[in-house]
Structure 1
Amino acid sequence: MATTAETAAAPVVKDDASNRPTTASLYVGELDPSVTEAVLFEIFNIIGPVDSIRVCRDAVTRRSLGYAYVNYHNIADGEKALETLNYTNLKGKSIRIMWSQRDPSLRKSGEGNIFIKNLDASIDDKALFDTFSAFGKILSCKIATENGVSKGYGFVHFEHSDDAENAIKNVNGMLLNNKKVYVGHHIPKKERDAKIEELRNQYTNIYIKNIDENITDDQLRAAFEKFGKITSLVIQKDDEGKSKGFGFINYETHDEAKKAVDEMNDTELGSKKIYVSRAQKKNEREEELKKQYEKIREEKLNKYQGVNLYIKNLDESVTDEVLREKFSPFGTITSAKVMCDEKNENKSRGFGFVCFSSPDEATKAVAEMNGSNLNGKPIYVALAQRKDVRKAQLEVQMNQRLQIRNMQANQMMNNNGMYNNQQIFYGGMPHMNPGRNMYYQQGMIRPHQWNGQEGYNGQHQYRRNQRNGPRRGKYNNNNNNNQNQQAAPAQEQAAAPAPATETETQVQQPTAGVSGITEAELSKLSPEERRNKLGEALFTAISKINQNYVGKITGMLLEMKTNEIITLLDNPDVLKQKVEEAVKALDEFQQSQKNAQ
C-alpha cells in the first residue's frame, strides 16, 4: 500500500527480551461462527505441534463467540504462527491473531492504544498493521467493520507507549491512500460517553416539529426570540419551497435554549401544537427510540409473565370463543386467541394463547388442562415463553440428549478397547464424544494424549492362533467383519501351538498390512512424527470415502490408540463403515441445529 505516511521517519523497533511472552498461548479473533477446533487444528498444526485449541462458546447455546485460544508446546511456534497466519482468510473472514494477555490490566489501561479515523475503505487489518508496524511492536490491530465493510476507523495497540506517541506524531494528518487521516490516543468508551453526555447537557440547538405549514421563518423567530438571542433559525422546506413541518433554532447560551424547550413544548403555534426538544443526531435519536421500545416491550413481557398460557395441538374447529369457554372455569380471562393463517383463508394454525388475570389462575389451568381432550384432540398447555428463552432451552435439551448418546456410545466399547458393531461417532460438535479421550466433549483438542507406551497393552486380545497367517499380530475387533480377514488354513489351525504369553506376543512384530504401516516402524518415531504419519495415512484413506468431513473425522480418529488406527487403515471396509456412521451422525446433528433455530 503506497502511502505518504511511509515517508515519515520510523523509529527502530525495540526488541525487549523482558517483554517476550512467557506462554505459547495465542488469541485468535474475528472467527466465523462455523469455525470449529478441528478447522483451526488443521491450520495451526502446520506451523508446529499444537498442545490444545479451544473455541469459546456461549454457556447456554454453545454457539461460537467468534474467538479462540491456540496453545503451542513452545513459544517459537507461537511466534511463527503469529507471523505467517495473522490476517489469514478463513471462511470469508480475516482472522486476527495476538498473544493471549492473561493480565487484563494491560488491555484495560489503554496505554499504547491509538485511534485512527477517516480511513479509506480499501484499507484492511493487514494494511493498517503493515503501515504502523514500522513504529514498534503491535499487540493488536483492528479495523471496525459492519457487514464486512470498513466503517472508516480502526485501532492499533502498541506494546510501548512511546511507540504510540511516535506513530501519532508521524502519521496524524498524513495521507493514507490519498485520504488525510486523524491519529490520536484512544479514549475508553466510558470516558467518551461521559463527555458526550456532558456536551448534550450543554446544548444550544433545539428542534421544533409539527409546525403549521403557513408559519414563516419570521413568525417562528417572533415566537422564540423572547427566550434569548437567536444565532440561527431555519424551517426545512422541500424542492417546491413548501414547509416540511419542522425546523431548528440555535441560541447563544444553553440556559436560553433550555428555557425555550421548557416553555414552548406542547404549546399552540398557529393552528397546531408544536413539539420542542433538544436537537439530536439521527443515530442518537434512533438509539433513544430503540431503548424506549425495548423498555416498553420488557414492561409488557413482565406484565404477562406467569399469566399467559400457550396451548397447542388444537383442532381446526376450536375458535377464540371455544377456547375462552373451556378455560373460563379457572379464573378471569383477559384475552383468548387462536392463531390463524391469514394467507390460507384464516385457517387455524393449531395453537393459541389464553391470558388470565393472576398467576394462580394460570397455574391451576395448566395443571387441570394439560393433556385434556378438546374437540377430540389431547391438548398441550404450558406457560407461554419468549422466543429467545424457548430457543435457548431447546438447545440445552438438545445438548443434554447428545451427551446421553455419548455416554451410551462409550458404554458400547467392549473389554478389548474396540467398539462393538454399533454407531460409534456422534462427534464433530462441542458436546459430542466419539470415543474415549476425544477432544470434542469439552471443546478442546488434545493431539498428544498418548497412554504411556504406544502400541500394544494388556487390554487387547490378540489372535495368537493365527500368528503365521496373513493377518497375524492383529487383535480381534469384535466387529463381525471377518470377511476382510483371510482365515488361516485348517491344517495350520490344527498345528497351532499353545497361546503365547503376552511378552512373547509383543516380541513378534506384525507384518505390514494394507496401509504398509507397522507398530515396529512407528515405535522408532517420536510422538509428533508418529502422529503426522498416521494423520497423513488417515487423511488420504478418509478422503477417498468422504470429502466433506475429512478433516474433522481425521482429527477424531487420531485420538484412538495407535494399534486401533492401524487396524482401521488395514481394513478398508471397517474404515468405510465407521466413516459412514460418523457422517450420518454429523449430518443428523447439523439438521437438529437447524431445526432448533
Structure 2
Amino acid sequence: MPLESSGSGRAERTGNEGDRLAFLELLAMGPRGWRSRFPVAAGPHGWRSRFPVAADATVYVGGLDEKVSEPLLWELFLQAGPVVNTHMPKDRVTGQHQGYGFVEFLSEEDADYAIKIMNMIKLYGKPIRVNKASAHNKNLDVGANIFIGNLDPEIDEKLLYDTFSAFGVILQTPKIMRDPDTGNSKGYAFINFASFDASDAAIEAMNGQYLCNRPITVSYAFKKDSKGERHGSAAERLLAAQNPLSQAFRFPSVQDATVYVGGLDEKVSEPLLWELFLQAGPVVNTHMPKDRVTGQHQGYGFVEFLSEEDADYAIKIMNMIKLYGKPIRVNKASAHNKNLDVGANIFIGNLDPEIDEKLLYDTFSAFGVILQTPKIMRDPDTGNSKGYAFINFASFDASDAAIEAMNGQYLCNRPITVSYAFKKDSKGERHGSAAERLLAAQNPLSQADRPHQLFADAPPPPSVPTPVVTSLGPGVTPPGG
C-alpha cells in the first residue's frame, strides 16, 4: 500500500479501509523479508540521539499474539510515523512476551494517529488494543537521582526496589546497567527518587552497606552532558522546593516512625530484631530484605514503631550498640508513603505461579506511580504464590488505566483479572468508589500524579467502574487490599 506525503509532512494512506486491513494482515503473516526493508536494530539509537520525544508520544498495545515480535511491532507502527522505541515485557522463565507492549513515537501527533488507524485491527487473527500511554512521570523528576556502584551480579531490579523504596517514592523501575548482548549486570545502577528527602536518606543509610556480600557505594549521579557536575546541587534543591508536585512527596514528620537498622550479623533474625527494638516502644512491623538464592538477609532491616517519638528513642538508645559483636547503625527512614494512599488499590487474580513482584512492578508501573512494592499473597510455609496480588497506586487515573488496559490480558500464559480490591473490614465494598474519588480530588498530595498517568487523553467516565468478578476457585473470595 503506497504512502503519500501531505503538506503537513504526515504519511497519508491511499486506497480504502479494506486495503489497509488487508495490508496489515499480510504484514502480520510473518517477518520474512522485513529486515531488508527496515533497519530495525539501528532505529531506536538513531532516533533517540537526534530527536527529543514528546511527553504523550507513547502508546500501549494489548492483545498481542505470541508470534508478534518487537521488530514486527516496530515495522507495523512505522505506518503511523517514525518509531523511537518499542518494548514488550517478557516472562523471565520462558522469554516469551506477555501479550502487550509499548511503542514510542517522535510526536504526540503520530501516537494519536497510531491509535486512530491501529486500534482493534487484527494481528494473527486477534484484535489488538491501542491506547495512549504516559511519559513516565517526567514532571516529577526533580533531580534526586542516585548512583549505586559495586553491585553483586546477582542483584536484580526487584531487590534494589525493595531496598530503596523504604526511603521514599521511586519514580521508575531501578535501572541496572546491563551488557546488551548477555544481559549481565555491569555492576552499577541508577534510581530516580521523587524528592531529595528520600535520596538524601538513601545515601546516608546505604552508602558502604553490604548488599549480597559486597559493600555498595551510593552517591548522587552525574548529570547528563555536564562536566563532572552531580545531581543534588543547591540549585536543583531550590527548584524542587518551588515545585508543588515534588512537595507532595515530602512526608510530615509525624509519619516518620520507621528506622533503618544496618550492620546486622547474619545470625540476627526478624523475631530477634522485633524483641530488641521493643525496648524502645511498641513495634508495628519489621522487615529484613533477603537474598533470593540463599534466603539469607542482607545485613540490614527496617523497624516500624507506633509513633515518631518511639522511633527517635530507638535511634538514641540503639545506635552503635553491639549485636553479636558488631556495632549496628540506626537511622530514621521514611513512613511508607501513607499520606499518598488515596484508595487506588487494585486486585490482580489468576496469576501464574512464576510471576514475581518485579514482573508486576515492571508491568503496572507504566500506568503511574506505585506507592509500595506489589504485594503477591504467598503461602507462609512454602513462599509459593497463592495466585493473586494487590497494587496500590498514587492516583485513580493510574488505577483506572491499569484496570482498563490489563483486565483479561495474558501474563505468563494466563489471562489475569484486574479490578478494584475489596476494602478491609467492609461488607463487600470495593475501592474506587465515588466517595474515595471525591476525597482524593480534595487531597493536594494525590493531585501530584494526575497529569502523568496513562490514557490522559481519554479518562474513564466519572461513574464507579463495574466491579470485575474474580474467580480463584470454588468458594474462594479475594480478600481486601
TM tier, shorter chain?
Answer: under 0.3
| Between structures 1 and 2, the one with greater helix share | 1
Query: What is the TM-score with the length of structure 2 in the denominator?
Result: 0.23
Query: What is the TM-score with the length of structure 1 in the denominator?
Result: 0.19
Query: Bigger radius of gyration, 1 or 2?
Result: 1
Comparing both chains, which one has the higher relative contact order based on Cα–Cα distances under 8 Å and sequence gaps of 6 or more?
2
